[in-house]
Chain A
Amino acid sequence: MNQDQSPWRYAVNIGLIGALTVVMLALIGMVAAFNKRDIIYKVVTMGDTLLLLTAVFLSFLAAKKAGRDQTLTAIGTAILTGVITAAGIALLVAVGQLINLRMMFINASPALYQILTFYFGPKLGIPLVLLGGVLSGLFAGVLYLAPPMLRKTLITALSSVMIAGVLQDMLRPVISLWGPLAKINLFLFAANGLAFKGAVGLFVLVALLVYGWGRKGSTVKSKVVGLPAGQQRTLKIATMLAIVFVLLVLPKILGLFLSEVLTIVGLYVLLGLGLNIVVGFAGLLDLGYVAFFAVGSYVVAVLTSPELGFFSMGFWSALPFVMAAGILSGVLLGVPVVKSFGFWSCPTGCGRGSAAPRASAKFPISA
C-alpha cells in the first residue's frame, strides 16, 4: 500500500478485503464447523469469534493508518471498515435468500444463514450484522486510541480467555490431574466452553497479572540487568535448567494426548533445524529433504524388526545406524544435485521426495 493513500480510501480497500474474507470463511464451511464449539457457554461461539476477529483486526489496521493524532478519523475509518466487512455477510445472506447458492457452494446451507443472522432470520438479522460491524469497528478504534498499557492488558486478557475456550479439551483433563486444584475446572468450564463466571474471572485475573507486570516489570528487569556478569550467567543457567526440568516433567503432567502432540512438535523442530542447514546455510531449497526423514524411519523399522533375528536391535542401539544411513543417503543424493544444476535441485528434490517412499515400498521388510 502506498504511503499517500488517504485513510478513508484505505479503510474502504481493507474493508472489501475483510468482506471477501468473511464471505470466504462462511462459504468454505469454517464458520458452521467452528460454531459447534462455544468459547463462552451459550454466549460466544468460535464461529462468531472468527468473524469478529477478522472485523476487529482489519478495523484496527484502518485506525492505525489514520494515526493517533486524528481521533475522529481513526474511529471513523475503523467503523467504516467494520461496516464494509459486515456488509459482506449481509450481502451473502441477502443473496442466499434470493438464489439457492447451495447448487454451487455446498456449505451455503440454511444453518449457515441462521448462524450468520444470529438465529433472528434475515429481516432482523441483516441490520444486526451491520450493527455488529459498527460495534467491532468502534471497539477496534477505541482499542487503538487507548493508552498502550491498557491496550496491552485488554488484548492479553481477551486472548487468554479465547485460548482457554478454544483449548478447553486439552486444559480440562490436565487441570483435573492436579488433585485439590481440580476444582478450578468447575469454576472455569461449563458443559461446552467456558462458564460465564469463569470467563470473567480469567479475564480479570490475567488483566491484573499483566497490569501488575507492566508496572513492576521494568524495575525487575533493570535489577537483573544491573547484576554483575557472573550472577547473570548463573541466572541464565538456572533458567535453562528450569526449562529442561519442566520439559522432563511435562509428560507426567500433561497426559498421553498432549505428550504426543509435544512429541510431534519436537519432531518438527528437529526437521526444521535440519532444513535450516540446507536452505539457510547452503541456500538450496531442498524439497526432497523429507526423503531422509523417510529413510530414517524406514531403516529404524527394518533394524528393530524382530524378523531380523540375531541382528534385531533396540531403538537406542539402532539410532547410530539410522543416522549413518541418513548421512549416506544425503551424501549420495545431495552431491550430484548440487554439482550439476544449482537452482534446479528444487524440482529434482521434489521428484526425489515423492520417489523415496515408493522406492522403499518396493522392498517390504516382511518376507
Chain B
Amino acid sequence: MLQRIRERISPTDVVMWLIGGGLMFMVVWGSIATLIKGTYTTRHWIDFVIFGLAQGSVYALIATGYTMVYGVLRMINFAHGEVFMSGPYTAYFVAAYFYRNDFLEAQPILCLGVIFLVSMAVSVTIAFFLERIAYRPLRGAPRLIPLITAIGASFFLQYLFRGLYGSSFQAYPDIPMLEGHWVIAGIRILKFQAVVIVAAVMLMFALYSFVMKSRIGKAIRSVSEDKEASALMGIDVDKMISMTFVVGGAAAGAAGVLYAIMFKQVHFFMGFIPGIKAFTAAVLGGIGNIPGAMLGGIFLGLVESVGPSLFLDGLGIVAPYQLKDAIAFTMLVMVLIFRPTGFLGERLAVKKA
C-alpha cells in the first residue's frame, strides 16, 4: 500500500502541494482577517469590482490575441504587448490634434470613433507585418526559434517606437464626455469605467461571433485544428494565419485605446506589463481557447483589483496594492502547477508542446 503511494507521488508533487496549500491558507486567513477588521465598506468593494471588471475586460481583449495566435501557430507571440502599445501611442497624436482644435469637446463620439479606428489600423498593420516579416520565414523551424524571434521583435518594436515618438510619457487628453459618474440602481459608477466595460464586452462579442460565425473565422478555426487537412480542403493556410494576426491586432488596438482612456497616458513601454498580464490571462483560461481567454482576463482583472485589499490587508501588509503584480503572477504559477491546461482548456498543453 505504502509502496504504491510512494510510486504515484513524487517528492516534487509533495512540495508543490505544500506550497499551494500554504498559499491557499494564507489567502483564506487574510480574507477572513480583512473582513473582520472591516476597513473597507461595501461601496469600496463595489468600486474595486467595477475597476477590476474594466481592467479585466481590457486584459481579456488582449488575451484573445495571444490565444488565437497560439491556436494557429502553437507559439506565444511575446510581441503582442507591443502590438497593443503601437495603436494607442499613434492614436495619441490624433487625439492631441483633436484636443487642440476643440473637436474633442464638440464631437466626442466621432472623435473617439476616429481614435479607435486609427489605433486599430496601426495595430493591425504592425501585427500583419510582424507575422509577414518575423514569423512566416520561420514556419516549420523548431518551436524555440519563433519564440526567441518574438522576444526580439518585442524589443525591436519597443525601441522603434521609442525612437519614433520619444521616451517621455504622453498624457492622453481628457474626454469631457467621460468625466464624472452615473448612478445606476444605487451604485455609483465612473463614466469612463462603464464605457470601457461596455465597449470591451461589445468588442469581445463581435470578435467571438466573427470567429464562430463568419467564413474566415471558420477557416481560422479549421487551421488551428489541423493545418494539413485545412490546406487539403482548399484553405489558404498562410492567409488565414495572417488573418489571425489581423484580428488579434485589431482587438489589441481597441484594447489599447480603452487602456489609455482608463490610465490617461501612453508610453513606449506600456505594452509590456499588460502584455504579460494578458498572457497570464490566456494561460489561466486555457491557451488556445477564446472564451477561456476572455474569462481568464476578467478573472485576472478582478483578482488584481480585489485581491490586494482582500487577501493581504488582513495579514497586516502595508500598502498591499503595490503587490498586485505579485498576486497575478503567483496565480499564474499556481495554475500552471495544478491545472496546466487552464480553466477551460481541454487540450493537454504539455502534450502539444
Contacts and interface: CB of A to CB of B under 8 A. Distances in A.
Co-complex (A, B): yes
Contacts of A283: 144
B336 A348 contact: yes
B160 A344 contact: no
Interface string A52-94: 0000000000000000000000000000000000000000000
A278 to B, nearest CB: 11
Interface stretch (B10-18, B181-189, B225-233): B10-18
Contact of B353 (A106, A342, A348): A342
Interface stretch (B45-53, B162-170, B292-300, B304-312): B162-170
> Would you call the interface of chain A mostly helix, strand, loop, or mixed?
helix
B329 interface: yes
B263 interface: no
B10 A344 contact: no
A342 B332 CA distance: 15
B223 to A, nearest CB: 21
Interface in B140-198: 144, 147-148, 159-160, 162-166
Nearest to B10: A339
Contacts of B332: 347-348, 351
B333 A348 contact: yes
A341 B76 CA distance: 16
A225 interface: no
Contact of A107 (B144, B163, B336, B353): B163
A335 B12 CA distance: 8
A106 B148 CA distance: 30
A253 interface: no
A30 B148 contact: no
B337 A341 contact: yes
A343 B349 CA distance: 8
Contacts of A285: 144, 147-148
A335 B283 CA distance: 22
B274 interface: no
Contacts of B164: 27-28, 104-107
Nearest to A336: B12
Contacts of B16: 336, 340
B350 A342 contact: yes
Nearest to B166: A106
A346 B12 contact: no
A336 B165 contact: no
Nearest to A279: B144
A24 interface: yes
Contacts of B333: 348, 351
B135 interface: no
Interface in A38-59: none
A343 B353 contact: yes
> Would you call the interface of chain B mostly helix, strand, loop, or mixed?
helix
Contacts of A347: 76, 279, 283, 332, 336
B336 to A, nearest CB: 5
B209 to A, nearest CB: 30
Interface in A139-196: none
B93 interface: yes
Nearest to B163: A28
A88 B279 CA distance: 37
Sort chain A's interface into a size bin.
20 to 34
Contacts of A30: 163
A92 to B, nearest CB: 13
B99 to A, nearest CB: 12
Interface string A94-109: 0000000001111100
A283 B147 CA distance: 13
Interface in B35-90: 76
B253 interface: no
A104 B165 contact: yes
Contacts of A103: 93, 97
Nearest to A106: B166
Contacts of A105: 164-165
A330 to B, nearest CB: 15
Nearest to B337: A340
A342 B93 CA distance: 44
Contacts of A106: 164-166
B297 to A, nearest CB: 16
A29 interface: yes
A342 B350 CA distance: 6
Interface string B264-299: 000000000000000100010000000000000000
Contacts of A104: 93, 164-165
B336 A336 contact: no
Nearest to A287: B151
B256 interface: no
Interface string A221-258: 00000000000000000000000000000000000000
Contact of B336 (A28, A339, A344): A344
B345 interface: no
Contacts of A28: 159-160, 162-164
Nearest to B129: A20
Nearest to A350: B276
B248 interface: no
Given A29-B163, A336-B12, A346 B340 contact: no
Given A28-B160, A106-B165, A107-B163, A339 B12 contact: yes
Interface in B298-339: 329, 332-333, 336-337
A319 B329 CA distance: 33
20 contacts: A28-B160, A28-B162, A104-B93, A104-B165, A106-B164, A106-B166, A279-B144, A285-B148, A335-B12, A336-B15, A336-B16, A340-B16, A340-B337, A341-B349, A341-B350, A342-B350, A344-B353, A346-B76, A346-B147, A347-B336
Given A105-B164, A107-B164, 8 more contacts: A28-B160, A104-B164, A106-B164, A335-B12, A341-B336, A344-B340, A344-B353, A346-B76
Q: Which 8 A-B pairs have the closest CB atoms?
A: A28-B163, A343-B353, A106-B166, A104-B93, A339-B12, A336-B12, A342-B350, A344-B336
Interface of A: 24, 27-30, 103-107, 279, 283, 285, 335-336, 339-344, 346-348, 351
